[in-house]
Amino acid sequence: MDKTTLHILNILKSKENYISGEDISSKLDISRTGVWKHINKLKKLGYSIKSVSRKGYSLESITELPLPHEIRTNNKHVNWKIIFRDSLNSTNQTASELAIDDAETGTVIVADSQTCGRGRMQRKWDSPPGKNLYFSIILRPPITPLRTPQIAIITAVSLQKTLKRLFPDLDSKIKWPNDILVDGKKLAGILCEMKSESDCIHHVILGIGLNINTEKNDFPEEIADSATSILIETKKKTARAKLLSEILNDFEQTYNKWLKDNDLGSIKDEWEKESCLIGKKIKIKYFNKIITGTPLGITFSGELLLKKEDNTIQKIVSGDVHVIR
């Protein structure tokens, strides 16, 4: 959005009632026709603006798009830079390309839709427009590559914290290593990818997909019984820009604390409190083997502690987890 259009938007936001095109043109030193053109740009972005003869313009409601100027971040420890696109192949792919071109920590790529959105194990992530949040964050943490899997853990804890605060009736839980579930159905997925050498990280791409305003009949048939959304669970629509603001602010706080702690620290306790796995019998596809047992928690470095059927405890670094019902 250009500066003049944004300026007009801010003028409309500051007025409870109508403001005339003449007043706007006078403030910005542009013609009334120019004002009208910028108003139409805002309408195309989804802003509802009422025009009344001899009264002027009134902002009725803001856009549903998660546009950069609608996202409010704290910027205390991370200098967030939001980049929005209507449609992308994958936000992680675009973020990776920008990271290679030296994009800074805190660069966030947000898309209204993805044509090839993906999760772990190269699974497809359904990404229709106008519904949900699909975004990727570029990070350059001063850590060793071995600590990178912990980022998925802290992200899940941070995201769960946001959801519990904003939607107290939403019974969401964390599934190791990277999902948020409601009653066993996937609400959000987290994907961490990195470029590194043996002793240092060049960058980490943290991708998040969160189902927000998808209705049950909108999901593809193959995931209709295994996916859910905030709308389905709460019966209420959610403003995506406001939710993304809250997610980034909570993540910034959690991420900074994790960097200072040098391990999962108190985050470990938060994860275990919000886990949907502890105490349940599970099976894990792990290095072409299937292991069964009961999770006891996680280590300070993020491995899953699995009590096997012979009562031995094994640390699981990665795997595909399924609850045995």
Q: In whole angstroms, what is the distance from residue 123 CA to residue 234 CA?
A: 27
What's the CA gap between 68 and 84, in Å, rounded?
7
State whether the Cα torsion 114-116-121-126 is positive or negative. Answer: positive
Element (H, E) at 98: helix 91-100
The pLDDT tens digits for 21-73 are 999 999 999 999 999 999 999 999 999 999 999 999 999 999 999 999 999 99
- CA–CA dist 303, 6 (Å, integer): 47
Q: Which residue has the tokens 């306790």?
A: 269
Residue 298 makes CB contacts below 8 A (sequence gap 6+) with 153, 176, 264, 268, 271, 272, 304, 305
| Strand residues in the chain grouped as ranges (E) | 48-52, 56-61, 81-88, 107-114, 133-139, 172-175, 179-182, 185-196, 201-210, 282-286, 289-298, 304-308, 313-316, 320-323
Tens of pLDDT, residues 264-277: 988 999 999 999 99
How many Å is the Cα radius of gyration of the chain?
22
pLDDT at 121 (0 to 100): 65
How distant is the alpha carbon of residue 19 from its chain centre? 36
Rounded Cα distance between 313 and 221, Å, is 39
Residue 247 confidence (pLDDT): 98
Q: Which is nearest to 247 in space by CA: 125, 99, 80?
A: 80
**List of the chain residues with pLDDT < 50:** none
Which amino acid is it at 164? K
Tell me the C-alpha distance between 293 and 310, whole Å: 9
Q: Which pLDDT does position 9 carry in this prediction?
A: 97
Residues 28, 45, 2, 137, CA torsion sign? positive
Cα–Cα nearest to 158, from 271, 56, 38, 76: 271
